[in-house]
Chains A and B, each alone.
Chain A
Amino acid sequence: MRWGGLFLKYVVLFVGLVAGVLAINAALDLYFVYQENRRASIEVQREKAEAAAQRVEAFVREIERQIGWVAYTQFAALPAEQRRFDYGRLLRQVPAITELVQLDRQGREQLRVSRLSMDVVGAGTDRSAEPAYVEAMAHKVYFSPVYFRKESEPYLTMAIAHGGRGGVTVAEINLKLILEVIANIKIGRDGYTYVVDRLGRLVAHPDLSLVLRGTDMKKLAQVEAALQPEGDGGKPVDATNRAGVSVLSAHAAIPALGWIVFVELPTSEAQQPVIDAGLRSLALLVLGLIIAGLAGALLARRMVVPIRTLQAGAARIGSGELGHRMSIKTGDELEALADQFNRSAEALQESYETLEQRVEDRTAELRETLEQQTAMADVLQVINSSPGNLAPVFDAILDKAMVLCDASFGIFGRFDGKLFEPAIDRGVPPELIEATRQIQSPPPNSGLGRIAAGESVVQLVDLADTDVYRAGFVGATALVDIGGAKTAIFVALRKDGVLLGVIVMYRREVRAFSDKQVALLQNFAAQAVIAMENARLLTELRESLEQQTATSEILHVISQSPTDVQPVLNVVVKAAQRFCGAEDVVIGLRDGDDLAIAAHDGPIQAPPPRRALDRSSAQGRAVIDARTIHLPDVAQLDPAEWRAVITLTRQFGAKAVLAAPMLREGVAVGAIMLRRREAGPFSERQVMLLESFAAQAVIAIQNVRLFTEIQEKSRQLEVASQHKSQFLANMSHELRTPLNAIIGYTEMMADGLYGEVGDKAQGVLERVQNNGRHLLGLINDVLDLSKIEAGQLTLTVEQYSVADMVSTVLSATESLARTKGLKLESAVSSGLPTGFGDARRLTQVLLNLVGNAIKFTDTGSVEVRAAQANDKFELSVVDTGFGIAPADQARIFDEFQQVDNTSTRKKGGTGLGLSISRKIVELHGGRITVESQEGKGSTFKVTVPINATPVESAA
């Protein structure tokens, strides 16, 4: 996968390098070859053109030479037959000559010999004007321009002067035969030669048909160029032939004929050497590339294969195959690298193995710790899930300890301060339990002994090798001989230095418990202690709670039955029975010199309901001595001293008795007693509880007594109050009747109905009258009050107008105020609704307040205000009088109360007005208050509902 990249890079590098070098080489080579070739080609072509021109000219010159054989001076002198024969022979020798004509020196035709037509002798035709004759005569030889017979066959007229007086031989030459000449001129492979005349017409060409068709070659650039007068010396040029093929064209002129011979070679052929060289270079390049590729591949392979091996090896090592080793034998750095890899792998493997071992160890450790922690957690879980219940905790601890300590069997023992008591055991053989049941106290040098002596951990690695065993202590021998124990460990459970118990693990092989296991056991021990402590605290809490519950129950009953002590005593009995853990509870109360049984609950028959109080019974002694009597075992009592106890307990089957006195101010009013049918002491707690119940019972009895007393007194008071009210009512009535008579008669007397009264007598009468009225007022007030208190005052609810009420009051008090020089004012809000209430009584209240205000105000004013506040009327009476001290403000509404100072005493009054007013207002569902400042004045405010609903008399 990867090696492809490296491999490819190497190969590409190689190939690129070689290709580059070769390409440069080839390019240079090609360039020079091209230059050289071109130079050579041009040279060759030029030479070929020259050669071709020479050969073409030679062809014509040969004909000229042949004709020369007959063109001699004396030829004309020969007989006609001879001349004809000579001409005929010439025709046969020179196939190109089609016709020969002999002109004499005058230019007349003497002989004509032709291949095609009949020979003519001595025709005499004058041809002296023809260029052939003229030119030949002038220049010996004449070549005509090329002409075409039948517009097709190229011909040349050649005239040769015979010299001297010999005339001229004119020959018609068919130029088709030049074809053979030029066809035989080899110009490369595809090169060719052609001849054009001075007009550019084709004279000879390998393709005869071009000649026959009289092709005009001037259209070709090279021909056109060559025809230019100045010429170019026949230097080869790159040109294009008629077929459109690129050619290298060279030419050479034949000046005598006016012809130009062209030699053309296809450029492709001319450049064949270049192409060949190119191909060679290409081949070389390809070969080079192949070799480079192979070499590159080989080298890359030599490089890459080991690298690949390295890579694969590294990958395998990397994937954890540490045992893998690479084998590379290249003898170079790669081999060294591989060796390095191998060494690294080896080192890695070693360290890995070490690490593995460590991890294994660590894992084992962790597992162990985890197990221990799990065990701890389990134990804690058990502790949490069973608060106060120790059995599951001890079970769990012992189970876990057994497993984690790899013990054969184990015991969880409790220590009550003197004895070890196996609480739970695991895997202990029954025979061993049987054998050790009798053991009371272990010797001090035994495991338990040492624990008891204060050691926290005792490990006996070989039980058979201990003093106790050798001494034949049953516990030890039974363990070893019956239980098969060999090694034992004892771990103490201590709380604040107090031994609570012990965990013991046994192994049936001699193998010490490890430190860790010891620590674990200690942890378990600590947890067990915590659990025990928890349980203890919980128990205490629960007891305390129960006690409080009991107390509250009792108090509840007390509050429920304030007048009857019996339910309370019943509850106390029940509570004592429940909380003291007693079977039977009895409450006896002192009644004079007797003891009466007030309450009992329990299976034991109750004592006689009433008996004489004496010190021979538990309750009797508790009452008399005012102390708790605790008799754990009745059987052991002195019969002389405890006659009643013994009699009673024997009679009812009780064995143990506890009696607590019910003390009130140090004197016992009775005793509460616990009885049990089994002998044995009652615990301190029971004693304490019982005493507490006794105290509560006393409280209950006391309460009932007090309550009863209060009730009685209240009832007596009420009766007295009714009597008083009745008395007052009666009295008032009885007093008013004569008083009315007194006032009436006095008034009649003052009016003179009984005769004229003197001024003195008039004054006396007035005073009698005034005092009588005052007395009547007092009596009325007392009557009202008594009515109110007797609950006889009832309101007469009717419609009333506050404004009317205020004006009534003002008109009644106006003269009084004027007399004292006070300003009497009123401020009544407009639009006040009609009220419902006892108008007469409310008017009485307002009148009383205004009267008081005027009475207690010497200067200033008195103002009555009325306003609505929600569904209430607010009626205020504001004065600028003496004011009322704060301490007095609360009292002034009570009956017969008057602010006691000199000024009030001067004003007189019964002190009943405000009290009555308050009652009336309260009967309306309203209230009356006062705000006052001494020396400044007072404001009495009455608030009554607009629609008053009469309130039942509170009296």
Chain B
Amino acid sequence: MRRRDLLVGLVAWPGAANAQARQAKVGLLAANVPPPGTVEAFRDGLRQRGYVEGQNLTLDVRALRGSLEQDIQTAADMAGSGVDVIVAWATPAVLAARRATSTIPVVMVSVGEPIGSGLVKSLARPEGNVTGLANLGRDLSAKQVEVFIETVPGLKQIGVVQNQLNPASVGQSREAQEAMRGLHLVPRVVEASSDVTYEEAMLRLSQSGVEGVFVVPDPSALEHRKAIAEQAIARRLPTMFQRRENAEAGGLMSYGASLIDQFRQATGYVDRILKGARPADLPVEQPIKFEFVINLKTARALGLTVPPLLLARADEVIE
């Protein structure tokens, strides 16, 4: 199509050489304020693929806040602004986008349960206007529990912080709890999705006598990573996260795929969609690379000794 347009344009109208420079409108709908580096990586990925903001790219970045209604409204606004494609980070954003439009392609970034959340029919053939990058969220939950308990020995009770507004979060939380129970651990589940609630959650878990806190992957945990980490350290609670950003922010450790990588990968989908590919034809990709990050500073702050074998297994150790 574009090629033909180009040809037609060349023949019909000299100025149509700018067709290539036609403005691609990309909306980035983030469930929460994305952590540093992510949007930059996205921009960078687009630039590498020939989309330069201000020249042929309009990037509309919006973050969801507050209530479900507001989120849906935000997504609808974005869909109504005439974007060619919506890149939605995390399940809530994808769900909102999905509710806002069934025609504008939606590229998922880091969605834990794309099939379980009803976003795609299958990974190989999404069969809708949604495709993108999935997380092996539920699969990984047990592994994350395992890594956590191996790092922090003597755990009996583990606090589980989940965001019940995020179906993926709830699902992974359940998976994690199951894994814990299988290891004869007692999970204590609290809800959190904002700095205040995370603070409350930490306080309550601390008061409930847990030895560690398992933060179920949720975009809010990234947004409030500082607060969570500070509260955890203040409460002397080891914490387990999915994202390295949490570890870097003072969380004890993280195990999971790189969000920045996923943002970057998402530009591949955007490119192909802008070039005419149908989202339904683009399979959902899963990460194969998982990073194991340990923050030794936090460990020391917690008076925790990390076993050497585990350190050897870590992909990155923050000193």
Contact = CB atoms under 8 A, between A and B. Distances in A.
Contact of A117 (B142, B309, B312, B313): B142
Given A118-B142, A151-B124, A212 B285 contact: yes
B136 interface: yes
B122 interface: yes
B100 to A, nearest CB: 25
A89 B124 CA distance: 31
- Contact-residue size bin, chain B (C-beta under 8 Å from the other chain): 20 to 34
A152 B284 CA distance: 8
B257 to A, nearest CB: 10
A358 interface: no
A212 B284 CA distance: 8
Contacts of B22: none
A85 B146 CA distance: 14
Which of A92, A117, A174 has the most C-beta atoms of chain B within 10 angstroms of its own C-beta?
Answer: A117
Interface stretch (B61-69, B78-86, B202-210, B286-294): B286-294
B47 interface: no
Contacts of A214: 124
A118 B124 contact: no
Contact of B290 (A115, A150, A151): A115
B315 A209 contact: no
Nearest to A212: B283
A213 interface: yes
A152 B131 CA distance: 14
B244 to A, nearest CB: 15
Determine the main DSSP class of A at the interface with B: mixed
Q: How large is the interface on A (under 10, 10 to 19, 20 to 34, 35 or more residues)?
A: 20 to 34
Contacts of A152: 122-124, 283-284, 286
Given A116-B143, A150-B123, A174-B288, A88 B282 contact: no
Contact of A176 (B136, B142, B288): B288
Interface string A212-246: 11100000000000000000000000000000000
Interface string B35-48: 00000000000000
A118 B123 contact: no
Nearest to B123: A152
B146 A213 contact: no
A116 B309 contact: no
A116 B144 CA distance: 9
A212 B136 CA distance: 16
A114 interface: yes
B77 interface: no
Nearest to B277: A209
B140 interface: yes
Contacts of B290: 115-116
A25 to B, nearest CB: 33
B123 A95 contact: no
B313 A92 contact: yes
Contact of A116 (B123, B139, B285): B139
Contacts of B286: 150, 152-153
A294 interface: no
Contacts of B272: 209
A98 B145 contact: no
B125 interface: yes
B313 A89 contact: yes
A208 B285 contact: yes
Nearest to A174: B288
Contact of A81 (B125, B283, B309): B309
A81 B286 CA distance: 30
8 contacts: A88-B312, A116-B136, A117-B139, A117-B143, A150-B123, A212-B285, A213-B281, A214-B124
Given A118-B146, A148-B124, 20 more contacts: A85-B313, A89-B313, A98-B288, A116-B140, A117-B142, A117-B143, A118-B145, A119-B146, A150-B123, A152-B123, A152-B283, A152-B284, A152-B286, A208-B283, A209-B272, A209-B281, A209-B282, A209-B285, A212-B123, A213-B281
The 9 closest A-B pairs by CB, nearest first: A212-B283, A118-B146, A152-B123, A152-B124, A116-B139, A213-B124, A88-B313, A118-B142, A209-B283
